[in-house]
Structure 1
Amino acid sequence: MGIVRDSDHSDGAPTVGETGIRVKDIASAYEHSGYSPDEITQLYPDLTLGDVHRALAYYYDHIDDFRSSSSEPASA
Structure 2
Amino acid sequence: MTEIVREPEHSNGAPTIDGTGIRVINVASAYEHSGYSPDEIAEFYPDLSLEDIHTAIAYYYGHLDEFRDSLSTEGDTETPA
Question: Which residue does 2:47 correspond to in 1?
Answer: 46
Structure 1 counterpart of 2:41, one-letter code: I
Structure 1 residue runs of 4+, over 3 Å off?
A: none
* TM norm structure 2: 0.88
Amino acid at match of 1:14: P
Instruction: Provide the alpha-carbon RMSD of the alignment.
Output: 1.1
Identity of aligned residues (%): 61
Task: Give 3-state SS (helix, strand or coil) of 1:18's partner.
Answer: coil
Matches within 5 A, 1:37-76: 37-72=38-73, 73-74=76-77
The residue aligned with 2:3 is 2
Matched to 1:62, the amino acid is: H
Structure 2 unaligned segments of length 5 or more: list them: none
Residue 11 of structure 2 aligns with an amino acid whose one-letter code is S
Amino acid at match of 2:77: A
What TM-score, normalized to structure 1? 0.94
**Shift in Å at residue 61 of structure 1?**
0.3
